[in-house]
Structure 1
Amino acid sequence: MKLKTLLFFVIIFLSVNYTIAQSHTFKLGDDAFLLDGKPLQMISGEMHYPRIPREAWRQRMKMAKAMGLNTIGTYVFWNLHEPQKGKFDFSGNNDVAEFVKIAKEEGLWVILRPSPYVCAEWEFGGYPYWLEKEEGLVVRSKDPKYLEEYRKYINAVGKQLAPLQINHGGNILMVQIENEYGSYSNDKEYLAINKQMFIEAGFDGLLYTCDPKPAIKDGHLPGLLPAINGIDNPAEVKALIKENHNGTGPFYIAEWYPAWFDWWGTKHHTVPAEQYVNRLDSVLAAGISINMYMFHGGTTRGFMNGANYNDRDPYEPQISSYDYDAPLDEAGNATDKFMKFRSVIQKHLAAGQVLPSVPKSKPVIVIPDVQLKQATSLFDILPAPKLNPEPLTFEDLNQAYGFLLYRTIVDGGVSGTLKIKELRDYGIIYINGKKAGVLDRRLKQDSLQVDLPKGKVKLEILVENLGRINFGPYLLKNKKGITDKVLLAGRELKNWKMYSLPFSSVKDLAFKSGKINAGSPAIKKGSFDLKKVADTYLDMRSWGKGIVWVNGHNLGRYWSIGPQQTIYLPAEWLKKTNNEVVVLELLKSEQTTLKTISKPILNELH
């Protein structure tokens, strides 16, 4: 009897484990993707794990299912996972493997994009800042130094994610190598090296490339599926892919844009759903697989926003909100676009298939005004300085993000032009502790007229990294800080002290009560209790420029120029008692009151 019972449990154990580990086949047919030999039309939406609180991943995926998606796409971000050379992090909000596993539990396939270049309106296009420190290293090339670091990264990613591919019992259908490479260069040998490194890292399933129409010839690698970005005319999509894939499909729009992103000082981008409904309908009717970029944008928290720049346009750092006017808004609620797209998708479901009901919008609260009663001047929390005759960059000081204060002593009694060559990106100038002016790379400002009093004068320049360029030919010109020299009335200033202020954490800052000198960059602190925990929006319209942390989470930047005037504060990062808020305010040190409202303001310019 005991033997029969034991045998019964062994059979059950083996059966369960076979079900868990059961692998599928996913292949390219001439016209369709084939899952276990049967056609699968991927209806996918992009959403990025670091732009969503880990605690909310599952809720966002349930919303994806409710709109009719069967797949989600995500980039993998090198600078998150290797913030310092050789130090990898796949924990907390960086646990991309858990993100993929939750998707499987929610019945979603995954398209994985570890590239390692991602663009994505993300700092340095996903590259870690320290690549800039490697002498002679050239990203997106066959440079041995770059390939060595790339290989270490993709091997680390492979350990996390290769076992989750569909051919190993997981839910990752396809893996993308590089990212819109044809918009950057055309080296097929480099692309082939990419492919081989992915395979060696364990990605032995279906690999593909993606490019916009003008770049597809340069960006695809023969033998891999060339997916297309940015167009949705079914005939054109099919013709382009056939032309570059031996006359066959299947057909995949890897990035279909239902709207666009925003940058500081420019209006909020919105596109009515009506402009896309018929186009989505025609794509699905043609049997083409599609990935909406974005289905849900979320928030680019911390210092991780990127920037655009080229020879024609000014430097354009992106805002913290990545709402994107996407079908699912920044807080994870269904929009009008969501409902209209859902109606289209419903038309193309298999007979008898019914979509889950759409969850109600999440509750929102307005918190009574929070008084920030503790304060300190940024000048009172300076670390030990680094001394050097010339200004050093962020990279010279092993600093990725945040701020850097430059200080020197000059002989006064001088009037003239203070010129900061190659300032990156935003500088506030102080003379003997008093603010003298601001220089802004966006506006191509690098000079300020100053009148120095007689005697020895303390000159300080507080420089903010507003985000490294994430797209185009300037990826290799991304150092931050004062990247050249400082001139006063034509004479180069020397003997600098540099104070690193990365603000990677605010938990150990020392505060005091009382006011801060007007014009001094100030750090304010307060706390609040809640009767109910729910989403809210910090209303920063009366503030100037800075960063907000709540319960240790860096929620991102605010800047009165707009268009973003609020900061989304997710319920998942709040608690009922003793919520701590810290605000770094650069321009309006007199502010002490933090307000909240129930809706975001993403379209107000000043």
Structure 2
Amino acid sequence: MQIKMKWVLLLAGALASNVFNSNAQTKHEFSLGDNAFMLDGKPFQMISGEIHYPRVPREAWRSRLKMAKAMGLNTIGTYVFWNLHEPQKGKFDFTGNNDIVEFVKIAQQEGLWVILRPSPYVCAEWEFGGYPYWLLTEKGLVVRSKEQQYLKEYESYIKEVGKRLAPLQVNHGGNVLMVQIENEYGSYGSDKEYLAINQRMFKDAGFDGLLYTCDPADDAKNGHLPGLLPAINGLDDPKKVKELVNSLHNGKGPYYIAEWYPAWFDWWGAPHHTIPAEKYAGRLDSVLSAGISINMYMFHGGTTRGFMNGANYKDTSPYEPQISSYDYDAPLDEAGNPTPKFMSFRDVIAKHLPAGVKLPQVPASKPSMSIPTISMGRSISLMSVLPKPVTNVTPLTFEDLKQDYGYVLYRTRITGGRKGMLKLSELRDYAVVMVNGKMIGTLDRRLKQDSLEVTLPKGPVTLDLMVENMGRINFGKYLLQNKKGITEKVLFNHKELKGWEMFSLPFADTKAIKFNSPSKIIEGPSIKKGTFTVTKLDDTYLDMTKWGKGVIWVNGHNLGKYWSIGPQQTLYLPAEWLKKGANEIIVLELLKPEASILSGIEKPILGKLQ
């Protein structure tokens, strides 16, 4: 690129905030030039970073976006998550931490453009790739296809998104520069008619600005829709990026790396992924020097709270459910603090600014604190809070029960006084096995464990199977094989067990849990409650090293899952969700009913396998 053109591009990026400050309602023109994006007729280079609004407490959105500006970003990328916004069919939610409209508006107030990715499939290491679980209950529905029921539900959803977000496009006075249709579709299929239907749906929903596709380099030919800009993921050799885009886009640019990976995500039982900044600083420099626009995935990962973690599964590898921390070894860490990678990338971006233009000062890191030992004063057996069961001859899946996430307790009664092999055919995904209320073992889909040698005591025996949905597959060809629970049958000594009660335990919130009975010795899964007092409101990390497996809520906020196998051993507790004085903590513990104390420490433990 000529030196003059490069300076114009970078000046456009550096002065983006002035465009916002002049008049937030001014309509802008954002278009494709032959080599660069054009903003109001002038070349513009996006230096973007991905942040997902549900992975950050709403109260912290603004501070995270200020950090983005301080690193030199002029744009923010985010997915839109269908399963959050339509958790049950026809029931939409854009409130609280789901208020993406407010997130985009705060970005505008902070002088940041936005790249919107409603998709509606997002991958994102997110439950079912962002699809709502209830799509699996629609008979014959086939995601990512021209199947009519899928297209009907998809259209209903995207119109709801369009009502709220289409008015925020730049051509309507907002800050949304571009909108992505589908997501890495080329890694899944190659149906251009299906992609064209996506394009039409987005336009019908009001997205009348620039639309684009994004795919890994090797799959870009499959996933590109002629006429739209093909963005590239995972490739950062400037020469190769330009050659690939030119081959798909009539010999023209502009050139956009929609997902540039400065690190990677983690899953249970595998090492924590870290990549030194020096391995990527030079690559960032070369891309920016070439005038290529870029979106860092992730700039700030945050936390996958609740039951929203996804999982990977391939024919060549085991089921891999992702952890709750989405730290990603990103430039901004899980708590929103700048890392050495942040400072290194900031130095690179600063090199490309025209003389006299300076980046904002980096806000101070947030303080963190340790919390003395928290004693869980109340403890009850999970069996004491079971809801009314659903009965059936054979086990029902989560989807049969109209249950989205969490756990289901399966119960049957059999004659004891014998020994044999218990087998759960197609278990999804983890089971605690109990005989007469006593835990005798676990089964784990990750390890391809579906059978257990069992010795039954004499007399009538109650067999309980506490089954956890560890996260629906979010990538690849198995998206439609995502039903949860006991998905086929249970055998004992090769004979099918029948006559089941199923207790739904979604744990959508903890308000309904009553700690009426006094604490006593518990042998199986348990729920514990405690309080702790703080005099200041700082971040902390709950140390779960000595616990087994479960979920934690503080003041009603689900902080995510913990599991002693690692690599994650702590759960991030944001200062924004604490209150001065007494705070309530509730823990669902599956494996270690004797565990009763924990503490908050100042730094996370994200790389310890046990």
Question: Aligned-pair distance for 1:518?
Answer: 4.1
Contact 1:68 1:345 (8 Å CA) reproduced: yes
Distance in 1, matches of 2:527 and 2:520, equals 9
Distance in 2, matches of 1:468 and 1:459, equals 26
Task: Quote the sequence identity (%).
Answer: 70
Distance in 1, matches of 2:520 and 2:607, equals 31
Contact 2:373 2:598 (8 Å CA) reproduced: yes
Distance 1:213 1:516, change over 3 A: farther
- 1:35-77 alpha-carbon deviations (Å, 9 max, x no partner): 0000110000000000000000000000000000000000000
Partner of 1:523: 527
Question: Aligned-pair distance for 1:152?
Answer: 0.4
Structure 2 residue identity aligned to 1:23: K
Equivalent residue pairs, number: 591
TM-score, normalising length from structure 2? Answer: 0.96
- 1:275-327 alpha-carbon deviations (Å, 9 max, x no partner): 00110000000000000000000000000000000111000000000000000
Partner of 1:575: 579
Structure-to-structure mapping, 1:478-557, within 5 angstroms:
478-512=482-516, 514-557=518-561
Distance in 2, matches of 1:519 and 1:322, equals 33
1:133 aligned to which of 111, 132, 137? 137
Structure-to-structure mapping, 1:444-483, within 5 angstroms:
444-483=448-487
Question: Aligned-pair distance for 1:519?
Answer: 2.9
Structure 2 residue identity aligned to 1:338: F
- 1:68-113 alpha-carbon deviations (Å, 9 max, x no partner): 0000000000000000000000000000000000000000000000
TM-score, normalising length from structure 1? Answer: 0.97
Partner of 1:595: 599
Structure 2 residue identity aligned to 1:28: L
Contact 2:25 2:174 (8 Å CA) reproduced: yes
The alignment's C-alpha RMSD in Å is: 1.2
1:216 aligned to which of 220, 243, 259? 220
Partner of 1:5: none
Partner of 1:8: none
Distance in 2, matches of 1:53 and 1:563, equals 23
Question: Aligned-pair distance for 1:375?
Answer: 1.6
Distance in 2, matches of 1:588 and 1:131, equals 35
Distance in 2, matches of 1:101 and 1:482, equals 44
Distance in 2, matches of 1:19 and 1:424, equals 53
Contact 1:28 1:34 (8 Å CA) reproduced: yes
Question: Aligned-pair distance for 1:17?
Answer: 13
SS of 2:369's partner is coil
Partner of 1:197: 201
Distance 1:528 1:189, change over 3 A: same
Partner of 1:290: 294
Distance 1:514 1:593, change over 3 A: farther
Gaps of 5+ in 2: 1-19
Structure 2 residue identity aligned to 1:180: E
Contact 1:537 1:569 (8 Å CA) reproduced: yes
Q: Is 1:426 equivalent to 2:430 in the alignment? A: yes
Moved more, 261-270 or 363-372: 363-372
Partner of 1:12: none
Question: Aligned-pair distance for 1:352?
Answer: 2.1
Contact 2:510 2:556 (8 Å CA) reproduced: yes
SS of 1:396's partner is coil
Q: Is 1:331 equivalent to 2:338 in the alignment? A: no
Distance in 2, matches of 1:366 and 1:575, equals 15
Moved more, 323-332 or 574-583: 574-583
Contact 1:121 1:306 (8 Å CA) reproduced: yes
Partner of 1:13: none
Distance in 1, matches of 2:48 and 2:366, equals 23
Partner of 2:64: 60
Partner of 1:103: 107
Contact 2:51 2:300 (8 Å CA) reproduced: yes
**Stretches of 4+ moved more than 6 A in 1?**
none
Distance in 1, matches of 2:149 and 2:583, equals 45
- 1:327-366 alpha-carbon deviations (Å, 9 max, x no partner): 0000000000000000000011133211011111101111
Distance in 1, matches of 2:92 and 2:341, equals 38
Structure 2 residue identity aligned to 1:577: G
